[in-house]
Chain A
């Protein structure tokens, strides 16, 4: 498209979700991906989430997020369907999802067009690096993930405007990260910066209005739609995404080394094997889910029965794990 600043054909449509519920927005994206045909009809979905941590599809929530901090501060934890690492979202961050057919899938092009919008309208010069992050002066302001299935693809990415960087750092630092061994996708931490500190006029709303204006001006048959936050089918699907099964049970198999002598093997969110010297003592823990309601009563049972092995000082290292159970 000569002269177009956007990587969208003429009849693109821009959707903005009015919901701030991360599960609703993920369900909306999934629903659009499954039900709409993107041939000659690419979509751009713009959304924002209330404070939440979003895991990649094949990641480990205990390893990537500080579950104790999330519980204490009411931050939600969700798992998306695309790969990549864990991110922190809040209202100072926006999410853009570009849904197309798999032949129009072009992540670098999409991100470069965003850089152009930022440069032309807000005078911020950023670059796209090899990992497909958008970087401003060495700080990351955007992360990317995508999914390709059945002839369709979506590429979604975030843009940081005025996020709470302190909450971001605390939520993504798990105390269990060193004791969990897994094949799951690891997250790569990067230093981040808020774009509103570079240009105070830049925030999610101003960015959205510039972007949707650009689409309306340059693409024929383009229109902007706002999606209400209470569409029934999507609410039903969002309940599935917020369930224990999706967030915790879908974790790939992993091991926790409580101490050099005790290892728990967790599959599908449940303890399946105990390894180490004390495995006969810890038998009641088998088949329990790795969550507070199921794990802690069994653990306290063990402590009572074997009080001679345990003392106040010698909890065998389970304390950190118990504090970080969902």
Chain B
């Protein structure tokens, strides 16, 4: 014999899945409880997810109502007013609450598959803001006498939407947007492309709490259709030595936050900045000799590298030609920086980083060397702090150690220049007596932003840079 509770649940089921009463009476006549359950569990999958019927708890059978998508583009809603109180009768089509979303006021009425009932408990009170789709907002019961059992009902924590209390004490100011945002947690880059989803698929997704973005669309033009939600594409299971599917000819690697940021910023730079390129060949004999001498004088200190000379020469040249130490700001002014902060491009496993050597013009070679080594190490370990790579007024990128003889680099906005340093090559040049000698020559190419730096200005800077590289003693002045 079935208990009254079970009968009530069955009746609810019958009504919602439109079982004729004949079948229901058939179930009633069954004696074994197990048989009943197995029949009923067969029925369960057909119910839409926004109904949850509790069997074995101590509360009477009830229906939890969740926030549905009231319009195709709705993602969150705020409850502005409940039109019914707890204990009120709800007829089909009655308005339960007024919901505001996206400047539209919408009426949320009794879902169609619930014929009638009573509002037992309001979980999200009036004034609750920004409730996500699928959050439980109220409970309905079939019989009036069950309303009382929900008076002390407390929803589970993860289901309860948090009402924003009017006591908004301190408002946290929005964090300042970093200028060089190469942090790895930038995943929420705004995209303007709308999801192509059919209306019925959206409705199903909202009811089941499925994230539309995670589905692969099989409809026309990659559209997500209802089938994709009810029967999502599953990974194929190996079933034995049958005809094997051909191996794919590619692998899709998901872009990390850093890669996406690099992609976005450099594309923006190449598209928006009018780049032009100046090249000069620098004779490196003096610099190489000087470097050797310094290293021999202090063998216990870390070895100086040619890159340190390049950084120092570039910084000193920037003091003489400050136009190249400027940034383009809007249409109305160019910011000329007083400090020379040089970004040094470092290649890491995750991508390209440009940590900054601050006030490089005031530092000695040893100090620059130490800074660069420290920053490169931190970059490789992923320990760079934001202030160590955001900012900077000039960038140097050196691919000489890879044997690249010369290349052109892309400017890092909002800076206006970048120096691309190639490898030092030994070439044959004519000498003073009409014979030939060998010379070590390094090719550098500077990319400049023509909005800020004119050709002559850039050329002047390169000339100074070459002077300081070929005669490092001039930097002592």
Q: Interface range on chain A: under 10, 10 to 19, 20 to 34, or 35 or more?
A: 20 to 34
Counting CB contacts under 8 A, is A9 at the interface? Answer: no
B165 to chain A, nearest CB (A): 8
Once A83-B100, A185-B100, A255-B166 are accepted as A-B contacts, the answer to whether A147 and B80 lie under 8 Å apart by CB is: no
Contact B166 A182 (CB under 8 A): yes
Contact A147 B106 (CB under 8 A): yes
Query: How many residue pairs at the A-B interface have CB separations less than 8 Å?
Result: 68
Contact of A82 among B81, B104, B164, B166 (CB under 8 A): B104
Q: Which residues of B contact A149 (CB under 8 A)?
A: 95, 105-107
Contact A147 B166 (CB under 8 A): no
Once A58-B80, A183-B129, A252-B80 are accepted as A-B contacts, the answer to whether A150 and B107 lie under 8 Å apart by CB is: yes
Counting CB contacts under 8 A, is A61 at the interface? Answer: no
**Cβ-closest chain A residue relative to B70:** A148
Q: How far is the CA of A56 from the CA of B98 in the complex (A)?
A: 14
Counting CB contacts under 8 A, is B75 at the interface? Answer: no
Q: How far is the CA of A254 from the CA of B168 in the complex (A)?
A: 11
Contact B107 A58 (CB under 8 A): no
Contact of B104 among A148, A252, A253, A255 (CB under 8 A): A148
Counting CB contacts under 8 A, is B127 at the interface? Answer: yes
Contact B103 A144 (CB under 8 A): yes
Counting CB contacts under 8 A, is A128 at the interface? Answer: no
Q: How far is the CA of A47 from the CA of B163 in the complex (A)?
A: 38
**Cβ-closest chain A residue relative to B128:** A183
Counting CB contacts under 8 A, is B143 at the interface? Answer: no
Contact A148 B103 (CB under 8 A): no
Q: How far is the CA of A83 from the CA of B164 in the complex (A)?
A: 19
Contact of A132 among B78, B103, B106 (CB under 8 A): B103
Once A57-B80, A58-B80, A252-B126 are accepted as A-B contacts, the answer to whether A146 and B103 lie under 8 Å apart by CB is: yes
Counting CB contacts under 8 A, is A26 at the interface? Answer: no
Q: How far is the CA of A82 from the CA of B164 in the complex (A)?
A: 22
Q: How far is the CA of A183 from the CA of B164 in the complex (A)?
A: 7
Q: How far is the CA of A254 from the CA of B164 in the complex (A)?
A: 12
Q: Which residues of B contact A107 (CB under 8 A)?
A: 104
Q: Which residues of B contact A82 (CB under 8 A)?
A: 103-105
Q: How far is the CA of A11 from the CA of B105 in the complex (A)?
A: 27
B133 to chain A, nearest CB (A): 16
User: Which chain A residues (262-292) contact chain B, with CB distance < 8 Å?
Assistant: none
Contact of A181 among B95, B103, B109, B166 (CB under 8 A): B166
Q: Which residues of A contact B156 (CB under 8 A)?
A: none
| A82-B104, A83-B105, A252-B80 known, 10 other contacts, Cβ within 8 Å | A57-B98, A57-B100, A83-B104, A84-B103, A146-B103, A148-B71, A148-B104, A149-B107, A185-B78, A253-B127
Can you list 13 A-B pairs with a CB-CB distance of less than 8 A?
Answer: A56-B103, A57-B100, A58-B80, A145-B105, A146-B104, A147-B105, A148-B105, A148-B106, A149-B105, A150-B107, A183-B127, A183-B163, A185-B100
Q: Chain A interface (Cβ within 8 Å of chain B)?
A: 56-58, 81-85, 105, 107, 131-132, 144-150, 181-183, 185, 252-255
Q: Chain B interface (Cβ within 8 Å of chain A)?
A: 70-71, 78, 80-81, 95, 98, 100, 102-107, 109, 126-127, 129, 163-164, 166-168
Shortest beta-carbon contacts, A-B, top 10: A84-B103, A183-B127, A146-B104, A83-B105, A149-B107, A83-B100, A148-B106, A58-B80, A147-B105, A181-B166
